[in-house]
Structure 1
């Protein structure tokens, strides 16, 4: 049923700075109002609401301050460099150094993901389903390492 993300909302301290950040990663302004802006993730289908707030440094919890954007498998492989070209650092995730995408062995499908933050510390993720035989995969691994692993 679910085909993508309909909407997500994040608190931001400086709305103008945050709009520039999200435009730099490919989102487009859909609507602006006093203290809030909606940006298209997929035009006409899903958007991100940014709400300007004085206090954005509240305790972090992924259910409140995390957005995952679906990307294509070929794009996840170049995501670290793409983000670096925009001055955005990839973040450590699940104990993995920020060297590249990791494979999440979710069943029944595996996913590759890479994590980064917006200017207010909201955790963002590029994620895509991947077609890999993960039947023998019991823990997370770097995507590059998994792709170069000898197949039995």
Structure 2
């Protein structure tokens, strides 16, 4: 019955700033804004495929995590430069100072992280072809290729 995840919602400290970040910086499209409730909905990808809800919360802001699906080639070749060009700091899951995407071998998937202005942890992720290998843990893409070739 379930075919996927349609929408997720996060709290933001300033709705206008968040709309600007997600539309101007990340390229999402504003679908609807409700000034009375201080919320906005953004299309992720093609209109009506997936939606992100932004809820303004002035106190007790609770940050969240979610991932944007991207192509493997974009993740490997342009994601870090894209983030840096937008004045965002890319980091890997291990937070070990490397800006290179890492592989979660149990999936397997390649990922790089960054934060929005409110501290929500965002991720670019690409599911890799091949069989999962949870025994390998989390490793660089180069190590993944060496161990799975």
TM-score bin (small chain): 0.7 to 0.9
Aligned partners of 2:110 and 2:127 also within 8 Å: yes
TM-score relative to the length of structure 2: 0.83
The 3 A distance-change label for structure 1 pair 151 and 18 is: closer
Structure 1 residues 133 and 66, CA gap change in structure 2 (3 angstroms): same
CA separation of 1:49 and 1:136: change in aligned 2, threshold 3 A: closer
Quote the residue 2:139 is aligned against: 141
43, 55, 71: which one pairs with 1:51? 55
Unaligned 5+ segments in structure 1 are: none
Superposition CA RMSD, Å: 2.3
Unaligned runs of 5+ in 2: none
Provide the residue aligned with 1:127 in structure 2: 125
Q: Is the 8 A contact 1:111 1:128 kept in 2?
A: yes
Q: Distance in 1 between matches of 2:17 and 2:5?
A: 23
Mapping for residues 81-120 of structure 1, pairs under 5 Å: 81-106=81-106, 109-120=107-118
State how many pairs are aligned.
Answer: 144
**Alignment deviations for residues 48-100 of structure 1 (CA, whole Å, 9 cap, x no partner):** 00001102544x5xxxx111111111111121111111111113423443421
TM-score (norm 1): 0.82
